[in-house]
A and B are shown apart, each in its own frame.
Chain A
């Protein structure tokens, strides 16, 4: 991938709202060149989507719970971990699934309304899968930083207004 494409990706990863016009100016391309780069990256599924980072703890009436579950599984002959991972990530409440090195195999992140709801999902859906050997669940108590963004950063500019 060429340098300009990577630069476009880095800009969009940092702020998906950056307009094509703005990106074009920043990376010194025409608007047409920039939009065709973005289009191509979308078609090739390099860019998979755009989401908004929200601090839900500030939204009243939205007290959700997030858990990270360490899952040990028995890999299935021929398809390894992929088939089990798919059985898990198809559930809409599952937000992320990663194959891990180390003490367990899959790291599953799941969101629910209450701890009880997550508990039900684990005991009824996750642990009952044939390949799943064991699960260890960790509930997230507070989010400090997510995807490179600090949640309560405070003042963003500490400089005085005019300096030589």
Chain B
């Protein structure tokens, strides 16, 4: 029995990996990518290209020969800028030397945080509908993902009593994504404070994924770590992908109590060394001189959000006004189709790609995720096609 012979590879693969379900998005991607003239509202990243000054700064760093590794935790200048940025916009104070870690995207920060805190069998609460990586990341870290379903009648906001019901003696942590992918739901300061009380009472660690925090449209975002007594138990995760339009640069960061960051750094130094150097130089420029670009992009997103929500409600698919991110999550229950049927039929008959809500957890069933990170022209054409699709059902 040897590899490459008649023996199945199954025998050689890790049991944990074999048990992971492939992402539902993957199947949909395969279907959509084979078709032509597709308008995609299925993309979880900005349609804007990274602001030119950032690209230029990265070029310049390469021209000057900055092609080597950086410190494991990342360039200290960048950590200082992140410290200043968090202080200015999120009212939290972290030490650049010991409490900030630059990572390869916020995704790596989530992975590191989970591996740093989870012991085998520890439960980690995930608020669904949620970003598709949380559950698998918990499993890969040896933990047990525990889902809480949020509901459309509560605008997909986590209800404190439901959170309390899900907490057991094995609960170690909770992952909060605010504003949320896929629903766009943003929690206000008061709502976060109610959740914080329970977290304090049950002594949990919080992974606060704030990658969309800059894209909060109707009020200033509240960082979870700025809430009383939460700083010492929060790992704040964010990055440059969304608001700075830098997805492909793969640059994020985690900040938190130094004991936790130090443990994450230990894993990071053995498994990743450091985040890409040229991307770190770009990010420096983004923090120093990127505010105007962010504001312009944010204004466009807000206008598109308003347009999408009104248009969906007009054609009879009820849609809440999401507070942040760049997704709307309309209900398609009226059509009698499941979210997968809806998405698939819409793609085949009108060439519009949306993501079926159930890939983000069972509570996403009956909804579709539409990203409005696309030009107004494309959004308008997509809405015309969706309307036609509904009328022909």
Contact = CB atoms under 8 A, between A and B. Distances in A.
Contacts of B380: 22
B301 to A, nearest CB: 11
Question: Range of interface residues on chain B?
Answer: 20 to 34
B307 A160 contact: no
A27 interface: yes
Contacts, number: 63
A162 to B, nearest CB: 4
Interface string B112-141: 000000000000000000011100000000
Nearest to B354: A162
Interface string B344-355: 000000000101
A27 B380 CA distance: 15
A7 B25 contact: no
B54 to A, nearest CB: 16
Contact residues of B: prevailing secondary structure: mixed
B310 A25 contact: yes
B32 interface: yes
Nearest to B26: A162
Nearest to A163: B44
Contacts of A22: 307, 376, 380
Contacts of A161: 29, 32-33, 38, 40, 42-43, 353
Interface string A1-22: 0000001001100010010001
Question: Range of interface residues on chain A?
Answer: 10 to 19
B84 interface: no
Nearest to B132: A164
B365 to A, nearest CB: 17
A162 B353 contact: yes
A76 interface: no
A26 interface: yes
Most buried by A among B181, B303, B380: B303
B304 A160 contact: no
Contacts of A156: 375
A18 B376 CA distance: 9
Contact of A162 (B43, B299, B306, B375): B43
Interface of A: 7, 10-11, 15, 18, 22, 25-28, 156-164
16 contacts: A7-B303, A10-B299, A22-B380, A26-B306, A26-B307, A156-B375, A159-B40, A159-B43, A161-B353, A162-B32, A162-B40, A163-B25, A163-B45, A164-B23, A164-B132, A164-B181
